[in-house]
Amino acid sequence: MLEPGRSAPAFALPDQNGQTVSLSDYRGRPLILYFYPKDSTPGCTRQALAFADAYDRFRAAGIAVVGVSRDSAASHRRFAEKNALPFPLLSDPERLAIEAYGVWQEKKSYGKVTMGVVRTTYVIDGNGTIEKAMPKVKPDSNAAELLAYFGL
């Protein structure tokens, strides 16, 4: 988990349309960068839909929203189209950003220990500095918490 006040790790990953998206693309404006485990699962779908519902308010305030998971660009495209998601979903199968942001962690489920993406959200300011780190966020309240954080 990365701490607020530190520089956000650079990334350059393909989105659901095959376009490369970099941290530097968001210079000059705040970025909500959220990491989630898997496309089309119940929690991840609820989280994405909540961000989609809040997207116009974020956009009007000049705040970008980007999701990241290990899924392929094709999986992201299907997920985004099915749910009319208006923001980029970045594909990170090699876990480059996932590991750089410290969200690849040990997880316990039904007594079984595995490694996976822990649902985490970062707010990165326009200078590329981590402003807020939100570990183990709840899919149903993450977007609302960020709306409140930004006073929207």
CATH code (residue 45): 3.40.30.10
Mean pLDDT of 66-76: 97
Domains in the chain, number: 1
> What is the domain range of residue 112?
12-149
pLDDT at 39 (0 to 100): 97
Predicted confidence (pLDDT) per residue in 93-134, tens digit: 999 999 999 999 998 878 889 999 999 999 999 999 999 999
Predicted confidence (pLDDT) per residue in 131-151, tens digit: 999 999 999 999 999 999 999
Name the residues annotated as catalytic: 44
Here the tokens at position 94 are: 């090699």
Question: Rounded CA gap, 32 and 47, in Å?
Answer: 13
Q: Answer yes or no: is 4 within a domain.
A: no
Mean pLDDT of 8-27: 97
Mean pLDDT of 62-80: 97
Q: Answer yes or no: is 67 within a domain.
A: yes
